[in-house]
Amino acid sequence: MARNLTQLELLIELEDVAARNVDRHLSMAKDWHPHDYVPWEQGRNFASMGGIDWAPEQSALNEVAKAAMITNLLTEDNLPSYHREIAE
């Protein structure tokens, strides 16, 4: 008969799987930086700083790459709340 695990027990059970997958990811990951996709010479300040605001039409990325960038941004912005949920 299966029993329900506590959150702590579940995290302990998943620790090895998570560690293996993080290690796998790190071994395959290729570092990138925003300026790899928006060259410095094409950068501009915001209009409020005397420059020109960026417009989505300026993007040379395909839709898949745009979705990946947005997902990455949302994930990075939410990391503190993920940590808080796990810690609680």
User: Contact at 8 Å (CB) between 61 and 69?
Assistant: yes
Query: With 90 as the cut, is the pLDDT of residue 14 above it?
Result: yes
Return the pLDDT at 50: 82
pTM confidence score:
0.42
Of 8-17, 35-44, 58-67, 79-88, the least confident: 35-44
User: Contact at 8 Å (CB) between 56 and 66?
Assistant: no
Query: With 70 as the cut, is the pLDDT of residue 40 above it?
Result: no
Mean pLDDT for the stretch of residues 1-17: 91
Long-range contacts of residues 11-19, Cβ cutoff 8 Å, at least 24 apart? 11/86
Sign of CA dihedral 66, 71, 72, 76: positive
Tokens of 11: 């995290």
Mean pLDDT for the stretch of residues 29-55: 76
Tokens of 47: 């209009």
Return the pLDDT at 39: 66
